[in-house]
Chain A
Amino acid sequence: MKRYLLAATLVCAPVQAAADPSIPDIIDDHILPRFEALATTTDTLSHVAQETCLPASEDLRRAYGIAFDAWISASHLRFGPTEVDDRAFALAFWPDSRGATPQALAKLIADQDPIAFDPDSYADVSIAARGFYALEFLIYDDALLQQGDAQYHCTLVQTVAADIAATAAAIHRDWVEEHADVLLTPGAEALYRNDEEVLRELLKALTAGLQFTQDSRLGRPLGTFERPRPTRAEARRSGRSARHVTLSLEALHDLAGHLAAGDAALTATLDQQFADALARLAELDVPVFAGVSDPQTRFRIEVLSQAVGTIRTTVLTGLGQALGVSAGFNALDGD
């Protein structure tokens, strides 16, 4: 892979852009529907939580799953409205390498902190006690379910759900009212000076999304051969780890397809590579990657991870060049 990357980056002759993506289409077909779905499903989640805050409630868990799906399908779009006031982190504080989420929640519960009674002030608590991963602890973690008083626990579920809905609504509102126009109207004094800068932002969202799925969603539970880390799998308490890989790959495939529009050969390559990764994942049938400790299953998860890496290489080199925004040897380094 390194060899391929290098060969591509050493070519310094200007490359004619071959793909012809439509920024309005990407906004209307890829971005806005995702944030609308996030706003709608989190609003439903918050309403369901007001009705039934019992952690074992089927209705609550179903609404949680649907809203979390909507977030994962939008979670690669990390620019603009998601970054205002750290909204994306307020929805999704993961990876949580230091266990800050269970610690922050346990402290709130132990102190019976009154902030849990006020959804508007809840945004002031530790960011680790907010969002989907905090709510997962509250409705799925056996240890946390044993702690504190049931009424307080119930209130916390309702407040975290309401806070998630408020954050999602704010992101959606900003996209509709402002940020779609920001992407559509680049200019000398604007956030983006030209379409090329907008496309670079979208390409960055795609590559960062692929890297996050490979390095975090797959890499964290894989750990090392000597020391696999099944308990580091994303959202394993709710059994969603592999589902998140599927949802993210489907969303990233959609964005990649939009960006590669007009380049038939590249589109075909990307289609084939995404299909390959998704097929390998479907064959695996390990919902929370518990199999990372079993050599045979582990090998198949590693192959899946490499398949995601292959897509990323195609995107960095092929798609970057097709869009006329490929990055150089040092530009790609990140140090």
Chain B
Amino acid sequence: MATSRRQFIAGLLATGLAPKPTWADAGSPSFLSAGALRDGTFVLCGIDAALNPTFRLRLPARGHAAAAHPSRPEAVAFARRPGAFAVVIDCVSGEQAAMLTAPAGRHFYGHGAFSSDGQLLYTTENDYEAGRGRIGVWDATAGYVRIDEWDGGGIGPHDIKRLPGSESLVVANGGIETHPESGRTKLNIATMTPNLAYLRDGAIIETVELPRDMHKNSIRHLAICSDQRVAFGMQWQGDGRAPSLVGHHRLGEQVTLMPPDSDAGRDMQGYVGSIAVSADGRTIAATSPRGNVVQTYDVEAAEQIGSLTIEDVCGVVQVPGGFAVTSGTGELRYLGDTLPTGPGRRNDLAWDNHLIQI
């Protein structure tokens, strides 16, 4: 049924008679996720609220995260670092609507964000000869042409998000320099200095660093509350136990780091893969595929409160009343604010790092 409706809409579009398509025309998916099929090929999938796949579109190589256009049924799937492509997919027709190619001397990090009106797409990029992070600016109204480039405020920008109700962006600068000619080798661990950088109209309005003894804590992933608080997940590049892997910050305020209790901290194996914050802003969920665990943290008390074992869990996103998670073993399930909720679904593919809400 959905397919025929989609074909019908596509036909109307071809004649130029139809109203502009919306996400409803793409089967009203609630989420997007990249995945790997058993045959070694890679896809971007739409997932509905009942956790059923709605569409499955082929990607040229392994994906990482995706960005959903705020109004048009259009998704941008980013290549895994150090990929140089991002595919814009028309989620109604399943066709490739545009292809973004990183300019010479740049590669993508796998994340991007739209402006509130959906006219601009921002991408995190590596200017690898200079060893600086850049933010690519693309015009989504004109076939995604590149129109500008900004300094990203640090080295190794990874996740990027827009603060709700504003055009300000926040960038997780992981601090780690890499060069595509030496693969994913980390070139500056001894001197790395991650930060959170806030940008408005291409200017850096605030940069926040971690305490000096945490300079090997690479800030990678972000989730934003409605009150503009930014939750961030880190990956520990130092030796031994990570002092903290989850924190939050709001523009103009101090950083709060969440020290997990010692056993729970070790369960994460120094690695947070994805992060989400609950709708009420009171709970942060962080996943560790290395530790096969998803943990929840109380924002106000700044402490870890819940923990659930799920093999190779990574994607996590906020949903009403809790979170949804995905895993590399194909699992998709809903969790409450402080975890369990029933069994989920298992699909015959490996869900890649990030689950994206539409």
Instruction: Please report A residues at the B interface, Cβ cutoff 8 Å.
Output: 2-3, 6-7, 9-10, 12, 78-80, 83-84, 86, 89, 93, 95, 97-98, 127, 191, 193, 211-212, 214-216, 219-220, 222-224, 229, 327-331, 333-335
Contact = CB atoms under 8 A, between A and B. Distances in A.
B64 interface: yes
B34 to A, nearest CB: 11
Nearest to A1: B40
B312 interface: yes
Interface string B311-325: 111100000000000
A223 B271 CA distance: 30
A86 B190 contact: yes
Contacts of A97: 131, 177, 179, 187-188
Contact of B183 (A2, A211, A328): A211
Contact of B187 (A7, A12, A95, A331): A95
A284 to B, nearest CB: 20
6 contacts: A79-B239, A211-B183, A219-B185, A328-B311, A331-B292, A335-B80
B289 A12 contact: no
B312 A330 contact: yes
Given A330-B312, A333-B289, A335-B110, A224 B241 contact: no
Interface string B241-275: 10000000000000000000000001000010100
Contacts of B311: 12, 328
B184 A215 contact: yes
Given A328-B328, A328-B329, A335-B64, A6 B189 contact: no
Contact of A328 (B40, B62, B190, B312): B312
A331 B179 contact: no
Contact of A9 (B239, B271, B292, B328): B328
A334 B184 contact: yes
Interface in B283-332: 289-290, 292, 311-314, 327-330
A141 B191 CA distance: 24
Contacts of A93: 190
B173 to A, nearest CB: 14
Contact of B327 (A3, A6, A80, A330): A330
Give chain B's interface residue range (CB within 8 Å of chain A). 35 or more
Given A6-B350, A328-B328, A215 B182 contact: yes
A211 B185 contact: yes
Interface string B186-227: 011111000000000000000000000000000010000000
Nearest to A218: B182
A335 B311 CA distance: 17
A212 B182 CA distance: 9
B240 interface: yes
Given A97-B131, A329-B312, A89 B185 contact: no
Given A9-B328, A229-B181, A329 B190 contact: no
A10 B329 contact: yes
A78 B186 CA distance: 14
A89 B181 contact: no
Given A7-B38, A98-B131, A330 B187 contact: no
B43 interface: no
Contacts of B329: 10, 12, 328-329
Contacts of B181: 219-220, 222-224, 229
B328 A329 contact: yes
A9 B350 contact: yes
A329 B64 contact: no
Given A83-B240, A89-B190, A330 B352 contact: yes
A331 B289 contact: yes
B178 to A, nearest CB: 9
Most chain B CB within a 10 A radius of its CB, from A7, A9, A214, A330: A330
Contact of B185 (A80, A95, A223, A327): A95
Contacts of B350: 6, 9-10, 329-330
Contacts of A9: 312, 328, 350
Interface in B76-114: 80-81, 109-110
A212 B353 contact: no
A225 B292 CA distance: 40
Nearest to B312: A328
B258 to A, nearest CB: 21
Given A214-B183, A335-B158, 19 more contacts: A3-B39, A9-B312, A10-B350, A78-B239, A83-B240, A86-B190, A95-B187, A97-B131, A97-B187, A127-B190, A193-B266, A219-B185, A220-B179, A328-B311, A330-B313, A330-B351, A331-B312, A333-B273, A335-B80
A215 B352 CA distance: 24
B312 to A, nearest CB: 3
Contacts of A327: 290
